[in-house]
Structure 1
Amino acid sequence: MKKLIFLLLIFCYISINGQNNNPVFQGWYADPEGIVFDNRYWIYPTFSAPYDEQVFFDAFSSPDLVNWTKHEKVIDTATIKWAKRAVWAPSIIKKENKYYLFFGANDIQSNEELGGIGVAIADSPEGPYKDHLGKPLIGKFYNGAQPIDQFCFRDKNGQYYLYYGGWGHCNVAKLNDDFTGFVPFKDGTIFKEVTPEGYVEGPFMFIKDGKYYFMWSEGGWTGPDYSVAYAIADSPLGPFNRIDKILQQDKDIATGAGHHSVIKHPKDDDYYIVYHRRPLTETDGNSRETCIDVMEFDSNGHIKPVKITNKGIAAHPLK
């Protein structure tokens, strides 16, 4: 009887206040990469746990951004032999009917350690994924950037770039055709530093109205001040001059809102920010949940500050 009364109270609350869709799925998940493949939305997050337990990725798919199906362990360290721990921040892209999943592993602290950024390949979004190289794609420090937090971006001309970097430095490199390495820039360099003011980690890029929107996370990932800022440029190489912070904690909702991605509905102009945050009841750094809220623009094309909510977003089917 008590359980029935409790469920009725929840139903009444939702009926009065509308949907309550954040977090979008249960469990501790962070660094979510959102993307659309065919007629489904996908989210690839970090399994948020102590580093020695953070050894696999789950994926989630949805027809409408509200109802999610879990795809367990699409990849793990049993498949990636050189990866032992701290597998995080997946980035995925489709190219010529193959799916390429980029990831960081081992949290290396120096060039003497094995680890860095790897890439795996599969025939479908849910995998299974296998190691594409048998070794890290980037296993060293360049321009002071720890090889983590990679994001793969396809430019308008079909060139694929990899943005990445922790420790307050961000690099970009041009991927070769089969994602086994990189193509030098015209000046002969492989890794160009494009670090904007305030950058800490978590780069993300999208194009809107011909402009390049470059986004990143600021602050410390275990603290309440974790947040997202952005720049707008005319080129995928910048320069990226910081405009403003657009995602941060709300002391009435949650703290540590950051490390995000952006999903645009392919048939209209609706944008959604996919991010993680920490519930007010939690103090453990790994207690992070994945959420989605609306992201809007003003008449100048600037991103409006995002209001983080428990309500989340309404269903937006792809079909």
Structure 2
Amino acid sequence: MNNIQIQTQMLDEQLDVQELAHLTLKLWKTINPENNATIEGIVNWIRNLVFDEVPVIVKAYKGEKLVGWILLFVHDSKKLEINPWALGGHLHILPDEANKMEIAQLLLKECINYALQNDHTKIELCYEKMDSIEKYPVDPSVYPKCNLMEEDEIVFMSLDLADQKLPEVEFPKGIETILLKNATDNDLYTCFYDSFSESGDRNFLSETDEEREEYFKEHFDKEDEMIDDASIVLVKGTKFLGFTLVKPTHGEGNGHLWIMGVIPEYRGRQLGSKLLNHAIVTLKKQGYKTMSLVVDSANEAALKLYEKFNFIHGWERITHAWKKGHFAV
């Protein structure tokens, strides 16, 4: 692979975004000829990215020809993500390159080097699960070869609220509800931590306590918009037993259940069902048309609960992650 040169550049005004967009469009059109993306649309998406820290572009050249690239998004001081959101997760490599796997390995190695040099401890890569390997722009087997191990497989589920006729919820005697936005962060974090420490959620179980704290700060930020009456905490005395966090995201007229949990010692008492029931009833009463959520496919108890309430399976997303300590590529 001596004829492949790797370059790293910040996403700034000097970057040739047109070059990146042309490669991406060719790749997407090869995979799906009916894709309606345009050069202008891709350029605008990259140029209009909102970020706190400037993203990094890692590029592979064969001579003067761009043959592959990655956008490395800086989420926080610890976590990076490869080609997030509309970029689809996978590495962008010219489809007619015979040595795509080698190019992919070089790009990923450079991402890991960047992480190590800048004290990042995690790199994530997320992509939609397909029914055949031919539909992937890059063979996903390259990721574990580069120590980006499969971390979880997420299922998106949705519910049409139009036909929902669930009754109002009555929680057991002695259990009160408070709005999540009024809960103390320390007690709420303890409830979140305890709820997921004994669960089937592989992402939570694979994270360090520092990463869990970062997740909590990001997703439970009370300055963010949430649907107040659907986002509640169950309290008995001074102890937090469970919670729901619902936000008006993932589409117009949709309430998205970002996270729900019940601490282990209070499971088996239908509290999870009652919390979900409450969220559904509240959203319908407030005029929302649909409700959605994501769940780890390994979390069988949660899957069964959502299926019981007639949530429909949608897309599935696979996450791979490199963590500091896995150095070899």
Q: TM-score, normalised by structure 2?
A: 0.23
Give the structure with the larger helix fraction: 2
**Larger RCO, structures 1/2 (Cα 8 Å, 6+ apart):** 2
Mark the structure with the bigger radius of gyration: 2
Give the structure with the larger strand fraction: 1
